[in-house]
Amino acid sequence: MKRSDVKSHCPVNFALETFGDSWSLLIVRDIAFWGKHTFGEFLTSEEGIATNILAARLAHLEQVGILAKRQHATDRRKAVYTLTEKGIDLVPVLLEMSGWSAQYDEQTTAPLAFVAHARADRTTAYERAKEIIRSGQSLFGN
């Protein structure tokens, strides 16, 4: 169970308490990079999140305003999760993490041309990525 109080108001601590667990950024990644939006789609990610952990992370991300949840248009049994503007503002964090990982992980699966392009002009790459996601698309999927 996560603490309900804040340990400190250090900006790094705030970020870690908001989205710094082992799964939250992977959920944000799945939406932003791969166009996943439903519980079942998140379960197909190769990291293998457990259903109870996924449910808890989705609820937390919705509670802190990173995700919005709505009913599926054609299947009332499903919920659709999208990034809020607060969530979209995490895209540069994901891109920086991807660039760092591509540099240090010899077996990276990151598209290196994309990483190099994003690092060459961060401001333009970040804004373009946010525009793509705001339009309902993802960076690499759908």
List CB contacts of 135: < 8 A, sequence separation 6 or more: none
Assigned domain for 112 exists? yes
Both 64 and 115 in one domain: the answer is no
Predicted confidence pLDDT, tens digits, the chain (142 residues): 455 666 787 888 888 888 888 899 999 999 999 999 999 999 999 999 999 999 999 999 999 999 999 998 898 889 999 999 999 999 999 999 988 888 898 898 888 888 888 888 999 999 999 999 999 999 987 6
Both 99 and 41 in one domain: the answer is no
Which of 84, 101, 116 is where one domain is finished? 84
Looking at residue 1, what is its pLDDT? 43
CATH at 28: 1.10.10.10
**What backbone phi and psi angles, to 5 degrees, belong to 11?**
-60, -35
Domain containing 126 equals 90-136
Looking at residue 141, what is its pLDDT? 78
Start-end of H helices in 44-111: 51-63, 85-88, 91-104
Assigned domain for 1 exists? no
What 8-state DSSP symbol labels residue 21? S
Cβ proximity of 79 and 67 under 8 Å: no
Angle among Cα 73, 57, 29 to the nearest 5 degrees reads 75
Burial 19-47 (b: 16+ CB within 10 A, else e): bebebbbbbbbbbbbbbbbeeebbeebee
For the chain, the domain total comes to 2
